[in-house]
């Protein structure tokens, strides 16, 4: 898939606010191949956690007490976006909301980024009763670690999106424009 370049991204949140990011993960795809996966624990404001969020991802205040805050982690993620300003997320409404709300909270500039949603694509392409990331990855034998950990979910999303591109027969990201937008 020459020319298919994007960064899959995923966030876990500590509380009900989308600006309470406690973990960020990315998976870099160059020419249709996964080249790098990274994740960062992030200290949310006040290091405050909601019980239900912790039940989902298992991240606790002790895990992020000494972690960098969002602006420091975002600076690293932004360095990747400088080379490839294209994001993919499964349920992009949530992940793009995490970015927008966190950038606003910290007074950071919003980058010029295009994004695509592998969930929206899956709903159009496949006829499954469930389109959750872990279900689709199990269905397609995409295994990348623990669900609801940001780096693992970012890589699962990247591999799923590549599968979606192949399954539709589209050779580039512009064909996926119906499943995306601008940050």
**What amino acid positions are annotated as catalytic residues?**
148
Q: Retrieve residue 30's tokens.
A: 């160059």
∠ CA 19-24-27, nearest 5°, is 140
- What is the CB neighbour count within 10 angstroms for residue 133? 22
Contact 33, 87 (CB under 8 A): no
Integer Cα distance of 76 and 175 in angstroms: 29
Q: Retrieve residue 96's tokens.
A: 């793009």
Cα(first)–Cα(last) distance of the chain, in Å?
25
């Amino acid at each position: 898939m020459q020319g298919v370049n994007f960064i899959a991204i995923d966030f876990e949140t500590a509380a009900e606010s989308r600006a309470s990011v406690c973990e960020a993960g990315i998976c870099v795809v160059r020419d249709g191949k996964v080249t790098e996966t990274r994740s960062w624990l992030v200290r949310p404001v006040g290091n405050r956690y909601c019980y239900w969020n912790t039940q989902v991802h298992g991240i606790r205040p002790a895990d992020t007490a000494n972690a960098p805050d969002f602006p420091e982690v975002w600076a690293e993620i932004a360095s990747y976006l400088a080379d490839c300003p294209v994001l993919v997320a499964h349920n992009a409404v949530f992940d793009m909301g995490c970015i927008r709300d966190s950038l606003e909270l910290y007074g950071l500039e919003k980058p010029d980024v295009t994004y695509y949603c592998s969930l929206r694509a899956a709903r159009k392409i496949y006829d499954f009763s469930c389109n959750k990331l872990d279900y689709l990855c199990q269905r397609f034998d995409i295994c990348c670690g623990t669900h609801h950990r940001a780096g693992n979910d970012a890589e699962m999303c990247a591999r799923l999106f590549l599968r979606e591109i192949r399954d539709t027969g589209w050779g580039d990201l512009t064909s996926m424009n119906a499943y995306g937008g601008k940050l």
